[in-house]
């Protein structure tokens, strides 16, 4: 079979329809995995309820997914928001921990962190209040 007969046998509308079917197939699997993840993440469901929803979603996927979305769609959204908030809080805590909460008690700087002092020095240098040499000396003094 040559390529010209292949192009005639499969017109552009069929290509569009095939791409639409592929997109909907991928969308379906995404929704199915999202629901299965939500079933296991849900703390208000017991073990038997989780097993029941999982069996329903796997054995009768269309009915199971639609029933789950109707019955538990709102709580699914709330769990997503809670998860996002927990992730953001953990990320902020990690950033605070990585940046350091300041020098140890009794250290130079009166409880302020070196990062704050360096930021103030850089700001003074940008405004022209101190020269490059003064900035470098103060920076070296802070870092030693």
Pairwise CA distance, residues 117 & 110, whole Å: 11
Q: Assign 79 to helix, strand or coil.
A: helix
If one compares 110 and 57, the residue with the highest pLDDT of the two is: 57
CA angle 142, 135, 130 (to 5 degrees): 135
Q: What is the mean pLDDT of residues 52-78?
A: 90
Q: Predicted confidence band at 19 (pLDDT cuts at 50, 70, 90)?
A: very high
Q: Predicted confidence band at 38 (pLDDT cuts at 50, 70, 90)?
A: very high
By the 8 A CB rule, do 78 and 86 touch? no
Token digits for 63?
């009915």
pLDDT, residue 11, reads 77
Q: What is the mean pLDDT of residues 47-76?
A: 91
Q: Assign 101 to helix, strand or coil.
A: coil
Count CB atoms within 10 A of the CB of residue 31: 14
pLDDT, residue 102, reads 47
Share of the chain above pLDDT 90, in %: 31
Mean pLDDT of the chain: 82
Q: Predicted confidence band at 26 (pLDDT cuts at 50, 70, 90)?
A: very high
CA dist list (Å): 73 to 16, 35, 56, 61: 32, 9, 16, 16
Token digits for 144?
């030693």
pLDDT one-digit tens code per residue, 102-126: 444 444 444 457 778 888 888 888 8
């Amino acid at each position: 079979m040559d390529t010209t007969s292949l192009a005639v046998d499969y017109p552009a509308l069929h290509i569009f329809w095939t791409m639409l079917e592929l997109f909907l197939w991928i969308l379906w699997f995404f929704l199915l995995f999202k629901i299965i993840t939500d079933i296991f993440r849900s703390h208000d469901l017991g073990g038997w309820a989780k097993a029941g929803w999982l069996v329903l979603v796997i054995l009768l996927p269309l009915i199971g997914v639609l029933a789950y979305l109707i019955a538990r769609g709102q709580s699914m959204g709330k769990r997503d928001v809670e998860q996002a908030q927990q992730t953001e809080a953990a990320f902020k805590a990690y950033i605070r921990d990585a940046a350091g909460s300041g020098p140890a008690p009794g250290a130079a700087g009166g409880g302020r962190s070196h990062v704050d002092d360096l930021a103030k020095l850089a700001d003074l240098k940008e405004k022209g209040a101190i020269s490059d040499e003064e900035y470098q000396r103060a920076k070296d003094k802070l870092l030693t």
